[in-house]
């Protein structure tokens, strides 16, 4: 059982996500129930993300423990299997979550073979904030996809690559990204001053 502070933060985060979904739907004239929500996991809040009605994918499964907890959460909710992307730490930064590239095949195998409520759908990475390592990060993730596909008997089209954010999404697309995370372009830059 999570601590009350964690549960409160999770509820607040889910409300925030759903408010953004509703606001985006209103601006676009779309039905909020038809908008696909993708969660990039942050710490232990991923367990609560499984309860978001529109959730179609979780990006950021970075170890077996996270995969197992998410698998159990999805099972307990009785929902259909949830697509997940394995997070790979391609920049090698200690501040980033993600499995080392050398371990991505084993983690992908674990999700595919031991987590029946999760659907392994690909790989994701978050590069360095200043984008200096962008080409290398993207190339590393692309190489990981080749290895994972070979080990799991998948075609590369069956293994998504989520790489690239607002500052480098064009280059990521050129290098094979199938998903980009451009929240800052859509919603504006984050205000990190509030977190201090």
Listed by start position, the domains of the chain span 39-188
User: Is the model's pLDDT at 4 over the cut of 60?
Assistant: no
Other beta carbons within 10 angstroms of residue 24's beta carbon come to: 15
Higher pLDDT, 54 or 144: 144
Residue with tokens 């977190």: 195
pLDDT 10s digits, 87-96 = 999 888 888 8
Q: What is the pLDDT of residue 109?
A: 98
Question: How large is the angle between the packed helices 64-77 and 104-114, nearest 10 degrees?
Answer: 20
Q: What is the pLDDT of residue 158?
A: 95
- pLDDT confidence of 102, banded at 50, 70, 90? very high
Under 8 Å between Cβ of 145 and 136: no
More confident residue, 22 or 1: 22
Q: Which helix (H) or strand (E) holds 167?
A: none
What is the C-alpha radius of gyration for the chain, rounded to an integer number of angstroms?
Answer: 17
Q: Class of 39-188 per CATH?
A: alpha beta
What's the predicted TM-score (pTM) here?
A: 0.75
Comparing C-alpha atoms, which of 69, 186, 179, 45 is closest to residue 124? 179
């Amino acid at each position: 059982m999570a601590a009350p502070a964690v549960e409160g933060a999770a509820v607040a985060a889910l409300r925030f996500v759903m408010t953004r979904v509703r606001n985006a739907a209103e601006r676009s004239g779309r039905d909020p129930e038809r908008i696909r929500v993708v969660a990039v996991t942050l710490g232990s809040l991923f367990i609560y993300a499984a309860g978001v009605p529109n959730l179609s994918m979780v990006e950021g499964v970075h170890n077996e423990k996270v995969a197992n907890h998410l698998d159990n959460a999805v099972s307990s909710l009785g929902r259909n299997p949830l697509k997940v992307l394995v997070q790979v730490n391609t920049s090698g930064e200690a501040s980033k979550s993600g499995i080392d590239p050398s371990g991505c095949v084993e983690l992908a195998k674990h999700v595919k073979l031991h987590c029946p409520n999760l659907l392994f759908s690909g790989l994701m990475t978050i590069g360095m904030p200043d984008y200096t390592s962008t080409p290398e990060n993207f190339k590393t993730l692309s190489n990981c996809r080749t290895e994972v596909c070979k080990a799991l008997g998948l075609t590369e089209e069956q293994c998504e690559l989520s790489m690239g954010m607002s500052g480098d999404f064009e280059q990521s697309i050129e290098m094979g990204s199938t998903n980009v995370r451009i929240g800052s372009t859509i919603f504006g830059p984050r205000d990190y001053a509030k977190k201090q």
